[in-house]
Every structure is written in structure tokens, then in C-alpha cells.
């Protein structure tokens, strides 16, 4: 175990987290699962002064009951204010910028902080989606921008190999997933006492719930007596429209948002956790359903395939027929998945716990 103490390296240096949207549901997260506050906690332990530059949700962040008093929050409302703030903290300075998400303004941040500081400032980039972009143009743009990054935080080995193949220097690439809160999510009901399907997460177009609904339609037509439970905030996807079109109104139960403190008991009721996202980062919701004892049916995308390869059944993201087949296989072979569920829980607790992740974050944050 490596221990880090504040040193001359970080004294009077700012750790600046650029946040695109801070949301109310983060208030119910533990510190270690709130990836914004957790990064500040680790940076502060290393001696950095902490600043959040926020577009959208600054007041929500200020009212977070878990907010550390040492974090200075700066809200900007237009591009000119933003460039001014970037210049203020990067001009001829050695500060560290922690830049989240694939946004044009994030890419601009990477470029401008290097220009304003004459290369003195350091930046760490972390996307909340997989590294493989949706078009080759976006991949090439990403390749170009990554030439100006100092370090890139990744969720898994698949992402690292993908970027290496595209010519990104391996010394920039750090596999460092988010913490998964093993103390909050635990299995307290056996597989034999569970039933039905679960989708847990934001209800948006990116999450591709239509494929899950089509799989449910196949199950309905095969006279499989099963329902889908949907837990999460509704964003930009009209699920009710597709439920009506597919004739599934009576087979889908929409629970809405459930507070973190109540989630574990609810998740323990369900047998199979289904996901068919088009583009994910780490997707903590999948890890949490696994810790709660659910069997996983996942899309064969970068975020999942080498993480859960031994523990889940996979389908291509739009292949609802294969997803329905996987669900039927699980229903007919429940006992086969008992050791897989238990092994997956142990795997998550061992590899994604706070102590291991914080130790690696300290290595990532010190230059």
C-alpha cells in the first residue's frame, strides 16, 4: 500500500474539477460514489486547493449535505466567462485540471489550459462514456485532442487497448474505475425467492430501452409470465409511447426515482438486471444491481464485455431476439447462476472498493 502526504509538489497548486451539470440525485450518494466529491476528497488529501468550475447545477452542488467546505465553487453562464475563469487558473501556472465528459467545451478546456499556461498546467481527462466514439470522425477528433492530455482515466482494459491501437501513448492511460459502494448494496434474498426483470438507470434514448421492450414483447408472445420493472428518472425517452405501440402497458412497472437508502431492498426483489445501452461509461447502476444479487444481461459494448465476461450473458445492443433468448435461458437454468452471482459480488467488492481506488487516484493526481 502506498501512502501519500501533502508535499511541496502540491502546495499552493489548485486541483480544478470542471463539472458539466451537478444533479440533485447526487445528494443521496455516498461520498465515494459521488465521483465529483470523491475526486476532491482525494485531491485535498494530497494538499491541493480545490476548485469546481460548474456549468449547470452550481446551487444544487452548494446545497449538497456532503459538500466539503474547502471546495470553492465557481459558476459560469457563457463561453466568455468560462474562458476568463480558465485563463485565471491556468495563465503561466502549474495547476491540475480534471476534465470530465466528451463535450466540445471539454476539448476546448484541454487546449486552452495548455496554451494559457505555456504547457505548465497538467490535465486529466475522464469520459463518462466508452472510449470508442460513435463515428470515425469523432474518433479522429478524440485522437487529436488526446495528444494534448497528460493523463486519461479509463474504466477497463478494453478501452486502454482500443486507444493504444489508435496511437495514444500507453503512459497516458490509467485504468481507474469509479468506486462501487459494497456496504450499501448487498444480496439479502436468494435467487429462488426472486422474479421478474429489472432495468435500473436513467431513462433516456442513449440507454436503448426499446431493445429491452422488444425482448419483453418476444417473451410475452412465447407466453413467458414475466414483468419488467423500470427504476430511474425519465429524461429524453418517451417510454409510455413505446409501451402502447408494443402492447406492453400491463407488463411494465415504472417506479421512478428511488432514494439510495431504499434501493437495496427494492433491487433484491428482482431476478435479472437487463441493460442494452448504446454508449456507457462504467454504469454504476449495473454494478449495484449485481451487488444486490441480480443476474446480468448486458450489451456487448466496451464498458461491459471484459469486465463482466465471466458473470453475465451478452447480446449485441439492438439484438432483442438474443436478449430474449438469454432471459429464457436464465429462467430455465436459475441454479447455474447461483455461483456466478456470488462470484461477481466478490469480484466487485475486491476490485472496486474505496481503498484500492483511492490509492490509484493518488497516483493519478500527483505529477
Q: What span, in angstroms and rounded, lies between the C-alpha atoms of 293 and 108?
A: 42
3-state secondary structure 57-77: CHHHHHCCCCCCCCEEEEECC
Q: What span, in angstroms and rounded, lies between the C-alpha atoms of 65 and 51?
A: 18
Task: Give the chain's domains with CATH numbers.
Answer: 14-179+353-365 (3.40.50.2000), 191-350 (3.40.50.2000)
pLDDT in tens, the chain (367 residues): 444 445 546 668 999 999 988 988 899 888 898 999 999 999 999 999 999 999 889 999 999 999 999 999 999 989 999 999 999 999 999 999 999 888 889 999 999 999 999 999 999 999 888 888 888 999 999 999 999 999 999 999 999 999 999 999 999 999 999 999 878 899 999 999 999 999 999 999 999 999 999 999 999 988 788 999 999 988 889 999 999 999 999 999 999 999 888 999 999 999 999 999 998 889 999 999 999 999 999 999 999 988 999 999 999 999 999 999 999 999 999 999 999 999 999 999 999 999 999 999 999 999 9
- Element holding 105 (H helix, E strand): helix 104-116
Is the distance from CB of 176 to CB of 365 less than 8 angstroms? no
Give the global pTM.
0.88
Amino acid at each position: 500500500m502506498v501512502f501519500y502526504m501533502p508535499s511541496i509538489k502540491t502546495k499552493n497548486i489548485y486541483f480544478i474539477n470542471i463539472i458539466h451539470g451537478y444533479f440533485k440525485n447526487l445528494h443521496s450518494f455516498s461520498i465515494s460514489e459521488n465521483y465529483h466529491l470523491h475526486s476532491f476528497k482525494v485531491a485535498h488529501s494530497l494538499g491541493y486547493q480545490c476548485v469546481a468550475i460548474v456549468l449547470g447545477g452550481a446551487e444544487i452542488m452548494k446545497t449538497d449535505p456532503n459538500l466539503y467546505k474547502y471546495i470553492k465553487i465557481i459558476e459560469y453562464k457563457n463561453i466568455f466567462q468560462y474562458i476568463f475563469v480558465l485563463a485565471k487558473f491556468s495563465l503561466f501556472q502549474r495547476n491540475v485540471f480534471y476534465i470530465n465528459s466528451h463535450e466540445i467545451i471539454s476539448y476546448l478546456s484541454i487546449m486552452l489550459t495548455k496554451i494559457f499556461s505555456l504547457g505548465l498546467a497538467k490535465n486529466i481527462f475522464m469520459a463518462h462514456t466508452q472510449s470508442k466514439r460513435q463515428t470515425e470522425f469523432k474518433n479522429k477528433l478524440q485522437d487529436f485532442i488526446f495528444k494534448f492530455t497528460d493523463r486519461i482515466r479509463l474504466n477497463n482494459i478494453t478501452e486502454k487497448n482500443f486507444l493504444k491501437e489508435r496511437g495514444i501513448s500507453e503512459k497516458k492511460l490509467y485504468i481507474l474505475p469509479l468506486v462501487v459502494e459494497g456496504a450499501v448494496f448487498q444480496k439479502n434474498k436468494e435467487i429462488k425467492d426472486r422474479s421478474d426483470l429489472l432495468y435500473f438507470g436513467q431513462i433516456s434514448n442513449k440507454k436503448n430501452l426499446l431493445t429491452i421492450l422488444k425482448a419483453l414483447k418476444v417473451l410475452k408472445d412465447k407466453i413467458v409470465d414475466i414483468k419488467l420493472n423500470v427504476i430511474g428518472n425519465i429524461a429524453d425517452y418517451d417510454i409510455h409511447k413505446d409501451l402502447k405501440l408494443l402492447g406492453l402497458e400491463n407488463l411494465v412497472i415504472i417506479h421512478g426515482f428511488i432514494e439510495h437508502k431504499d434501493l437495496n431492498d427494492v433491487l433484491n426483489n428482482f431476478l435479472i438486471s437487463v441493460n442494452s445501452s448504446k454508449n456507457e461509461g462504467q454504469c454504476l447502476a449495473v454494478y449495484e444491481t449485481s451487488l444486490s444479487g441480480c443476474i446480468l444481461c448486458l450489451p456487448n459494448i466496451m464498458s461491459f464485455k471484459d469486465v463482466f465476461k465471466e458473470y453475465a450473458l451478452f447480446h449485441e445492443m439492438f439484438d432483442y431476439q438474443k436478449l430474449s433468448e438469454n432471459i429464457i435461458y436464465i429462467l430455465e437454468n436459475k441454479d447455474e447462476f447461483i455461483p456466478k452471482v456470488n462470484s461477481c459480488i466478490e469480484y466487485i467488492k475486491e476490485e472496486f472498493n474505496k481503498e484500492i481506488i483511492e490509492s490509484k487516484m493518488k497516483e493519478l493526481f500527483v505529477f
